[in-house]
Amino acid sequence: MSKTGNYLLIDENIYQDILSNKISISSILEDPEYQNSENYLNIGASWDIIHYALCGEQWEGQAPYKYVVLGGEKINDEDVGYGPARYLSPTQIKEAYEVIKDIRQEDWIEKYNWDKILKDVLYSSATDNDSEEEFPEYNEIDFEELKKSLESTIIERSWYVFCKIKTIFEKAIRDSKYVLFYLS
């Protein structure tokens, strides 16, 4: 099962209650009110490709670009799936939004090195010996066509998800919310 990226917008009071250990993040995440609201966004497994596209590396990156997917600092030590949740303050949300708001689909497709992104993120677990031996029913041309189709779909999907991220950041700014990001 792959890791999925999740965003949850919370207000200042919830943020303070989490920091002071009055409430657990898990209690919020298990509440259907949050999971089924416009304050929640699940971006599936696209988080790693989008982060890599923006930052040029898998787990690190320069602020404010790294804020967009992996968030800021961990909010506490509570494990909510794959480690602790990370948060962005309203100021950090604005900083991150400023660097992504004007990225258009053409920029997304042309600006980013998709050959490198897909090699480093998508195909990083494959070894040099894993090409056609894993897919004996495909000849080399069929395998390359399948690979191109998959890559095209991933680029289109990542653009769609990136637009959803921009929308949730706009909402967070408009509503003066904090953003929690976590992997589940």
Q: Which amino acid does the sequence have at 100?
A: I
pLDDT of residue 122: 63
Taken as a whole, the chain contains a residue count of: 184
Q: Which amino acid does the sequence have at 124?
A: S
Task: Report which of 9, 83, 49 is spatially closest to residue 160, judged by C-alpha positions.
Answer: 49
- For the four alpha carbons of 42, 43, 47 and 51, in that order, the dihedral sign comes to negative
Give this prediction's pTM: 0.83
As a whole number of angstroms, the distance between CA 184 and CA 182 comes to 6
As a whole number of angstroms, the distance between CA 154 and CA 161 comes to 10
Judged against a pLDDT cut of 50, whether residue 132 lies above it is answered with no
pLDDT of residue 134: 52
Judged against a pLDDT cut of 50, whether residue 130 lies above it is answered with no
pLDDT in tens, 92-110: 999 999 999 999 998 888 7
The residue that leads in pLDDT, 138 or 62, is 62
Average pLDDT for 161-183: 97
pLDDT of residue 56: 85
Residue 155: band (very low, low, confident or very high) from pLDDT cuts 50, 70, 90: confident
Question: Which tokens go with 114?
Answer: 């998709």
* C-alpha distances in Å from residue 96, one per residue of 10, 66, 72, 75: 17, 8, 10, 18
pLDDT of residue 136: 53
pLDDT in tens, 42-95: 999 899 889 988 998 888 899 999 999 998 999 999 999 999 999 999 999 999
Q: Delineate the domains of the chain, giving CATH numbers in brackets.
A: 5-183 (3.40.1760.10)
Angle between helices 140-175 and 90-100 (to 10 degrees): 130
Judged against a pLDDT cut of 60, whether residue 9 lies above it is answered with yes
pLDDT in tens, 18-45: 999 999 999 998 888 887 889 999 999 8
pLDDT of residue 103: 95
Judged against a pLDDT cut of 60, whether residue 126 lies above it is answered with no
Please give the share of the chain, as a percent, with pLDDT higher than 70.
84
